[in-house]
Amino acid sequence: MNIDIIIPSQHLPITESFFMGDASHAADRAARAYLFAEERARRSANTIRRHNADLAVFARYLLAVGLPPVPVDAAGVVLLATSAEPWAGMSWGMVKGFAAWMLTEGYAMASVNARLATVRLYASWAAQAGMLPAEMVVLIKGVKGYAHRDAHNLDAARPITRIGAKKATFHVLSRDQVRRLKVQPDTPQGRRDGVLLHLLLDHGLRCGEVARLQAGSIDPERGTMTFYRPKVYKTQTHTLTPGTQAALVAYLGKDVPLTGSLLWASRKSGHLTTSGMSERAITSRVAELGRGLGIAQLSAHDLRHTWATLAARAGTPVDRLQDAGGWNSPVMALRYLEAAAIANTGVRGFHDEA
């Protein structure tokens, strides 16, 4: 359709005005969808999974207080996560009520804070897309989580402080438990488990990092391992500990080839398959090995936590612990430094100069 050039004082014919209005609405919808897609593309896959889960809980809350169900897409993801339109009409009261509802339902304080942060973030995207007024977003951003002292007081006053199977605290294994756990049978599965446990306990790898390891990540001649840490977007090289080297020598080339996935999955019979272990399989296997030592709910992250705690106790400097653990900030490494029995041990002051 040909449209003449129009000077500001002229108007489009009514039919063409309608066409332009429809086109602008379509363009706005596309831009809103693109904004969410672009922002989500900036985040890691793990972050997106957490956001999806957080917003699914938010959708359950909205349903619980009498609002219509939030639609989901073909993948089962609530549209609050992928589109700006469902955020239209969202209010400060809804978000504040969400915080109170989670406390009543017994969610852990860390989960409450994380989910509120997700809601605040997506509400800000919806505002950029024009679905929420700026003043409402300011109010929603004012719905903060709970500080440590507030959380302690609130937990003391409510009967349920955590729902689900996730543990409130990590297991920190003793050195004796670490030694016993590393001793595995001289079988294909046992040798594989020995490598798995050394990677977690001697190198502090995350579960996902272990699952991604390839046999080619290991350099036997140099005694090193090079691997990618997707959570912090880093490729690092570790010198293998003697125990890890011994476990790899017993396993590589004998039970698995020198190419492909490093850790192969196993059947119930104990025989190895030709496919790599998934994160879920690693989690399940560590839990089973923990039960063998009488430790309930042992996880791969417990072993990483144990590695960091024992390294800190041995006097590892914070900067070295941060680098070896693959953290971007020293804050995480500092969590593993325990308080001294005498609070001012090692503190020097002007009185030492006399």
Q: For the segment 225-245, what is each residue's pLDDT rounded down to a tens digit?
A: 999 998 888 999 999 999 999
Name the strand (E) or helix (H) holding 226: strand 224-229
Q: How far apart are CA 286 and CA 306, in angstroms?
A: 14
pLDDT at 233: 87
The pTM (predicted TM-score) of the whole model is 0.64
pLDDT at 4: 43
Encode pLDDT of 245-294 as tens digits. Answer: 999 999 997 888 888 999 999 998 888 998 999 999 999 999 999 999 99
Give the start-to-end residue ranges of the domains of the chain: 14-157, 175-334
Contacts of 328 (CB under 8 A, 6+ apart): 232
- What span, in angstroms and rounded, lies between the C-alpha atoms of 118 and 122? 6
Task: Name the DSSP letter for residue 72.
Answer: B
Inter-residue contact 157 to 130 (CB < 8 Å): no
The pLDDT of residue 156 is 61
Positions of the chain with pLDDT under 50: 1-18, 165, 354
Residue 13 per-residue DSSP state: -
Do residues 108 and 166 lie in contact, with contact meaning Cβ atoms separated by under 8 Å? yes
CATH code given to domain 175-334: 1.10.443.10
DSSP 230-270: TTTTEEEEEEPPHHHHHHHHHHBTTTB-SSSBSSEEE-TTS
Task: For residue 335, give the amino acid letter.
Answer: R
